[in-house]
Amino acid sequence: MSEDSMRSPAQRIEPARLDHEDREELVAEARAAAQRAPDEARVKVKTREVAVFYGAKQALFDVDLDIRERMVTALIGPSGCGKSTYLRCLNRMNDTIDIARVTGRIELDGEDIYESGIDVVELRARVGMVFQKPNPFPKSIFENVAYGPRIHGLAATKAEIQDIVEKSLKRAGLFEEVKDRLNEPGTSLSGGQQQRLCIARAIAVGPEVILMDEPCSALDPIATARVEELIDELRQNYTIVIVTHSMQQAARVSQRTAMFHLGNLVEEGPTDRMFTNPRERKTQDYITGRFG
Ligand SMILES: Nc1ncnc2c1ncn2[C@@H]1O[C@H](COP(=O)(O)OP(=O)(O)O)[C@@H](O)[C@H]1O
Ligand SMILES: [Mg+2]
C-alpha cells in the first residue's frame, strides 16, 4: 500500500490550503522555534553521497546532509520523494528490506555506521525509531518499556528496571496518566498515549538520536499537540529527525528543515530561513502549496 493511500485526503492537500494568513503564522512559528534553538550545534549525523536503490530503481540520489546535535531536523517534501528511505538509512533499517541497497557514507559521531564491525542492534538502541502508526508490543505498558533495557542488559535488578521504566515514562510525558495501570496492555491506551509509550520505549535504551516518521499522522489534533510539545522538550537531550507532511508541524517543532524532491535533497537550512527565504524555487513552491 502506498503511503499516500494511507493518508486522509485532508492531510494530502494540507500544504495547498495555506492561505496568506496561515503563511504568516507559519513564519511566526518558525521564528519562535528558532529563538529557542542554540546558536550552533555540532554535527551528530553526517551523510555523504548517500544513495538508495530498491532493486534496479534508485530512490535516493547522493544526499549530503549534516544533522545537528540536540536539534530537531524536519524532513519535508511530497509523498514518495525519499524521506522515509533517508530516515531508515540513519539506523540501518533499510537492511531489513531485502531489495534495498545503500551506498555512500553515514557517520554517527564521526564513525561509519555501515562498517563491518558495527553491531546493528546496538546502533538501533543509539538511534531509535518511532513510526507513523503507534506500534506497542502486545505486552503490558510496563513491559513495553522494560523489554529493551532488559535485552540490552542495561539493568540487572528489578529495582533498576523499575527505575528506568518510570524515568522513561516521565520523560515521554506519560507517567502520570499510566502510573496506576502499568500492568494493562499497551494497546489499551489511546492513540496519542500509545505513541508516547513508543517514545518512552525508544528512550528506555538510552538513545542519542530519535528518528520519527510522521509520528502524528494517525493522531487527533490534541494528541498531536501533546506529542509536538514533547518533541520540543526532548530536544534538550536528544537529536531528533522527524519526517512530517505538515508544514505547520515543521515550523512548530524544528530548528532545521531539509527539503526533498524526487529522491534529491533540494536544500537544508534553519527552519525560519527555509520558510521565509528559501534558496530554491522548489522549496518555495512546496511550502506555498503549489505542489505536494
Ligand atoms: N520497500 C520498498 N520497496 C520498493 N520501493 C520502495 C520501498 N520503499 C519505498 N520505495 C520507493 O522509494 C521511493 C521513496 O519512497 P519513500 O522513502 O517512502 O518516500 P516518502 O517517505 O518521501 O513518501 C518511492 O518511489 C517508493 O515507492
Ligand atoms: Mg514516508
Q: How do the pLDDT tens digits run along the chain, 292 residues long?
A: 444 444 443 333 344 455 666 777 777 887 777 666 555 689 999 999 999 999 999 999 999 999 999 999 999 999 999 999 999 999 999 999 999 999 999 999 999 999 989 999 999 999 999 999 999 999 999 999 999 999 998 888 999 999 999 999 999 999 999 999 999 999 999 999 999 999 999 999 999 999 999 999 999 999 999 999 999 999 999 999 999 999 999 999 999 999 999 999 999 999 999 999 999 999 999 999 888 7
Characterise 104 by phi-psi region: left (phi > 0), alpha (psi -120 to 50), beta (else). left
The residue nearest atom 1 of ligand 1, judged by CA position, is 97
Looking at residue 38, what is its pLDDT? 57
Looking at residue 20, what is its pLDDT? 63
Would the CB of 85 count as within 6 Å of ligand 1?
A: yes
Looking at residue 155, what is its pLDDT? 84
Cα 60 from Cα 83, distance rounded (Å): 9
Strand pairing category for 43-54 and 100-108? antiparallel
Q: Max Cα separation, the chain?
A: 57
Cα 85 from Cα 170, distance rounded (Å): 31
128's CB contacts (< 8 A; 6+ apart) are 91, 202, 203, 205, 207, 209, 210, 211
Cα 220 from Cα 192, distance rounded (Å): 8
Query: Which contiguous run of DSSP H or E holds residue 134?
Result: none
Look up residue 66 and give its amino acid. Answer: D
Would the CB of 83 count as within 6 Å of ligand 1?
A: yes
Would the CB of 78 count as within 6 Å of ligand 1?
A: no
Looking at residue 37, what is its pLDDT? 59
State the cell numbers at 284.
518555495
**pTM of the predicted model as reported, rounded to 2 decimal places:** 0.88
The residue nearest atom 11 of ligand 1, judged by CA position, is 59
- Let me know: does 25 contact 71? Beta carbons within 8 Å: no
State the cell numbers at 56.
534496479
Looking at residue 167, what is its pLDDT? 96
What DSSP state is assigned to residue 257? E
Cα 167 from Cα 183, distance rounded (Å): 17
User: Which residue of 85, 131, 245 sits with most ligand 1 atoms within 8 Å of its CB, as the best mutation to test the pocket?
Assistant: 85
Ligand 1: which atom is nearest the Cα of residue 243?
A: 21
Look up residue 53 and give its amino acid. Answer: F
Looking at residue 103, what is its pLDDT? 97
What DSSP state is assigned to residue 27? H
Measured in Å, residue 35 CA sits from the centre of ligand 1 at: 34
Cα 108 from Cα 136, distance rounded (Å): 27
Cα 269 from Cα 286, distance rounded (Å): 15
Cα 238 from Cα 210, distance rounded (Å): 7
Would the CB of 68 count as within 6 Å of ligand 1?
A: no
Looking at residue 18, what is its pLDDT? 58
State the cell numbers at 242.
522527524
Measured in Å, residue 67 CA sits from the centre of ligand 2 at: 18
